[in-house]
Structure 1
Amino acid sequence: MGIFKKFSTVNQAAKLKKLLNWYGPYLGAGIKLEYIADDWREVRVAMHMKWYNRNAVGTHFGGSLYAMIDPHYMLMLMKLLGKDYVVWDKAAHIDFIKPGTGTVRATMLITDEQLEEVIEQTSSGHKFLPRFIAEIRDETGELVAKATKTLYVRRRPIHHR
C-alpha cells in the first residue's frame, strides 16, 4: 500500500489529490485532479489543451487521454478494500471516439453494487477481474473516448494480513 502510508491521517483524499497534481506525468500532460471524494468512491480529472500537450494534428494525445484515468480505479479500490486485499491493474482498453480538443474531463465512480460484487467474488480467496468504464468528454459533453480498466483483486490469505 506504499503511497497510502503517507496518508494515514484525516483528509487523505485531499492530500493525495495535491500530490498527484504535482506528479510529473500529470504536469507534463496538463492533467489535473479536480476532485477525490472523502469516501474514495469518485474521482474527477480534467485535461486542458496547452501548447505542450498537443499532438501533430492539434488534438490531445491518445496516451494522455488514457493517463487521465489510468491509476484511479486501482487506487480507489485499494483504499475501499483495505490491506486485506491485493489490487493490481490487469488490463486496459481505450476506444477513441472523436478527436479531443479544449478541456476534456472524466469521472471515475465505484458504486455500492460494484464494491459488493468484488467482496463477494473474492470471499473464497479466488481472484476476481472486475471491469470499470470511464468516459472522457469534451466541454460540450460529447464523448471523446471510452476506457475500460480491468483490475486483478484477490483477498489476501489470513497469514499475510
Structure 2
Amino acid sequence: MAKEQGRQIVAQNKKARHDYLIEDTFEAGMVLQGTEVKSLRMGRASLVDGFVDIERDEAWLHGVHIPEYTQGTWTNHAARRKRKLLLHRSEIEKIERRASEKGLTVIPLALYFLNGRAKVEIALGKGKKTWDKRHALAERQAVREKDQALGRRLKGMDD
C-alpha cells in the first residue's frame, strides 16, 4: 500500500477566524484510538466547540466532536472525549505562559492528515468585540468592491 502524501483537511473551524484575532499558530499531533482515526478518514469531525487546556504540563483538546465509527463494535470511542495533544515541552510552556498573561484563548483551527498522521492546528486567539467583527466585514466588502471596479475598468466597461 502506498504511503499518503500531502495535507488532507478533515475539518476546519471557520467561525474561529471570525470570532478571534489569531496571534500565533501551532501544529500538534493527537493521541487517538483506532475507531477515531477511521471516523476521521471518512471526513467526519466538528471543531466548533473545541478548546485546548493545559493540565499538569500536558495539552488536552476538549469539546471536539468525532462521531462514532459506524462499523465499530464495543471498542468504539466516546464522541466528545478529551484528547491529548503531542507538543514539545517548550511549545506547551509558551502557550501556557501567553494564554495566562494576555488572557488569550487556545482554539483549534483545523484538523487534517499530514503524510498519513492526524494533526490539529491550534492557535492563540483574542476574542473580537462585535464592532471588530463589523469592521472586518466592512474591510472585506470594500476590498471586494475595489477589485470588482478594477476588473470592470480593465475590461473597458463603464462603472
Q: TM-score, normalised by structure 2?
A: 0.31
Greater relative contact order (Cα < 8 A, sep 6+)? 2
Larger CA Rg, structure 1 vs 2: 2
Q: TM-score, normalised by structure 1?
A: 0.31
